[in-house]
Amino acid sequence: MSSPNLLITGVTGFIGFKVLLDSLTAGYTVRAAVRSISQSQWIPSHPRITALGVPDKLSFVEVPDIIREGAYDQAVKDITYIIHLASPLPSPGLDPQTGVYEPNVKSATSILHSAIKEPSIKKVVITFSVFSNILFPPDGKEITEKSRLPDVPGPFDSTITAYSAGKIGALNAAEKFIKDNNPKFAVVKVMPGLALGYDERATALEGISAGTNRMLLGIITGKTSPAPFPAGVGDVADVAKVHLLALGDGVVGSFGVTKRNTFDEAWEIVKRHFPKAIADGIFTQGSQPTIPVDWNAHQTEVRFGFDFKTYEDAVVEVANQYLQLSGKKGA
Ligand SMILES: NC(=O)c1ccc[n+]([C@@H]2O[C@H](COP(=O)([O-])OP(=O)(O)OC[C@H]3O[C@@H](n4cnc5c(N)ncnc54)[C@H](OP(=O)(O)O)[C@@H]3O)[C@@H](O)[C@H]2O)c1
C-alpha cells in the first residue's frame, strides 16, 4: 500500500463516489473517511472500483461522528490534500435541527480544526452548495460565488429549511475559522447546484434514485411534487471534475457548479430523445415546479476552461441509465 496523499469524506454518497473514482483515475492514493467501515465494504468490491485495478491505492478510516471537534485528527495524519463532502442532505427521516442543520454547520469546521493541527496538509476542498448563497424567497438578483448571507437562526420547520440554513451557516463558520486562524493550507469552496446525472454507484434499478436524481426521475415517471424547488443544477460529472481541478496548484477561492434550469423541461427533453419509451409507457409525465434563481457560475467555466454540461445532458444520462438498469430500450 502506497502512502495516502488524499483524504476524501462522503465517498458512499452520489457525488463522493464519483469524486473517489476520478481521484483514483487521476493517480491519487486515497484514504476514504466513512461513518462505518462495515457499511462501506461494498466500495472496494464495486465493479467501477475493481475495474480501475488499483487496490493498493484505496484505504479506509472510520469517523463515526463528523461534528465532534477533533473528529478527523487521525484521518488527516500525513495527508496532503482533503476533499470534504460528508454531510447530510435534507431527508424526511432526519430531525431538522440535530440531523441536518448542526451536522452541516459543524462538519465544515471540524475538518478545519483537524487539518490545522497537521503540518503535511497543503489544501482543503470543502463542498458547500448553491444554497449557501440563496436568499429565501429569492429576490431576483444575480447570485455568484462571491454572494454571502447572514446566518439564519432556527428553529426550522422542515429539513429543507434546515439544510438551506445549514449550508449558509457552514460557509460563514468556515470563512470565520479561516480568518481567525490563518491556516498555512489553501482552502477551496465548491458550491454545486442540485447534482444530477449518471449515478456510478447504481448497479440495479433501485439504486438509481438513491441520490438527488430522485427528483428528476419523478418528473419523467409520472410523479407530481407539490413543493417548488429552486432552480440550478450541476451534472455530477462536472461537480466531481471541479473538486479535482480545485486541487491544482494556485487554485483558491469559491467555485459555483450550476446552470439555470426549469425542472419540467425534463419532459420535453425525454420526448425528444426517448419517444419509444414514452410510447411504451416507460416514461410518463410528472411535474416539479421551479423557483427561478439567477445563480451565475460562469466564472468557474472561465477559470477551468471548460463548459458545464447542460440540464439536457443530465436528463439524458439519467433516463439512459434508468432504461439500461431496467433492461429496456427507449430511443
Ligand atoms: N446532491 C446534491 O444535489 C448536492 C448539491 C449541492 C451540494 N451538495 C453537497 O455535496 C455533499 C455530498 O452530497 P451527495 O449528493 O453526495 O449526498 P449523499 O449521496 O447523501 O451522500 C452524503 C455523504 O455524506 C455522509 N454523511 C451524511 N450525513 C452524515 C453524518 N451525519 N455523519 C457522517 N457522514 C454523513 C454519507 O455517509 P453515509 O453513507 O454513512 O450516510 C455520504 O457519504 C454534501 O455536503 C451535500 O450537501 C449536494
Q: What is the DSSP string of 14-35?
A: HHHHHHHHHHHHTT--EEEEES
Q: How far apart are CA 61 and CA 34, in angstroms?
A: 6
Mutate which of 7, 20, 21, 35 for ligand 1? The one with the most ligand atoms within 8 Å of its CB, which is 35
Give me the half-sphere count of Cα atoms (radius 13 Å) on the Cβ side of residue 116: 15
Would you put residue 131 in left (φ > 0), alpha (ψ -120 to 50) or beta? Answer: alpha
Question: What's the 236 CA to ligand 1 centre distance in angstroms?
Answer: 13
Q: What are the residues facing 259 on neighbouring strands? A: 233
Residue 50, helix vs strand vs coil: helix
- Give the DSSP per-residue string, 258-292: -B---TTHHHHHHHHH-HHHHHTTSSB--B--EE-
Residue 14 Cα to ligand 1 middle (Å): 8
- Domains of the chain and CATH, by start: 6-195+234-259+296-309 (3.40.50.720)
Cell numbers that stand for 4 in this block: 495516502
Q: Which atom of ligand 1 is nearest to the CA of 36?
A: 40
Which among 251, 114, 233, 204 is positioned nearest to 243, based on CA atoms? 251
Residue nearest to atom 28 of ligand 1 (CA): 88
> How many CB atoms lie under 10 A from the CB of residue 115?
25
Kindly give the number of the ligand 1 atom that is closest to the alpha carbon of 163.
47
CA 235 to chain centre: 10
What cell was used for 155? 428553529
SS3 assignment, position 317: helix
CA 275 to ligand 1 centroid distance, Å: 34
CA distance 173 to 107: 10
Residues with CB under 6 A from ligand 1: 10, 12-16, 35, 66, 85-89, 103, 127, 129, 192, 194-195, 211-212
What separation in Å is there between the alpha carbon of 326 and the centre of ligand 1?
26
Render each residue's pLDDT in the chain as its tens digit; 331 residues.
Answer: 678 899 999 999 999 999 999 999 999 999 999 999 999 999 999 999 999 999 999 999 999 999 998 999 999 999 999 999 999 999 989 999 999 999 999 999 999 999 999 999 999 999 999 999 998 888 899 999 999 999 999 999 999 999 999 999 999 999 999 999 999 999 999 999 999 999 999 999 999 988 899 999 999 999 999 999 999 999 999 999 999 999 999 999 999 999 999 999 999 999 999 999 999 999 999 999 999 999 999 999 999 999 999 999 999 999 999 999 999 877 7
